[in-house]
Amino acid sequence: MSQKTEEEIKHLLAAIGREDKPFRDYVERRIKGQVCSLCGSTEVAYVLRGMPTLDQVLELLLLQKKIILGGCIVSEGDKDLYCYHCDLEFVRQKLNVRKEV
């Protein structure tokens, strides 16, 4: 990540503060511990679909590579994660399956 990007992230974090923290936590939870189903990379992002307003929060998450924009068409069975390494979209795996039963 370039110095410029890091500075932008710092600037945005300061500007946003705790505003929209629930949304950022939600995104974190979606990508935490997830690996690409093809290459095993942990460089994955949450695919945000629909037409979100591009505000500072989204700008921050895009810079941090935690989300990518998946286009405005939302349909059943959409893949919700994206791998930066091999450019693949895939469906999120449930972790700790035994606990969730």
Name the minimum Å distance from CB 29 to Zn ion. 20
Q: 45 near 67, Cβ under 8 Å?
A: yes
Q: Which residues of the chain form contacts with Zn ion (CB under 5 A)?
A: 36, 38-39, 41, 83, 85-86, 88
**DSSP labels, 52-80:** ----HHHHHHHHTTSEEE--S---TT---
Name the minimum Å distance from CB 70 to Zn ion. 16
Distance, in Å, from the CA atom of 88 to the CA atom of 92, rounded to the nearest integer, reads 12
Name the minimum Å distance from CB 32 to Zn ion. 17
User: 68 or 88, CB closer to Zn ion?
Assistant: 88
Distance, in Å, from the CA atom of 80 to the CA atom of 101, rounded to the nearest integer, reads 22
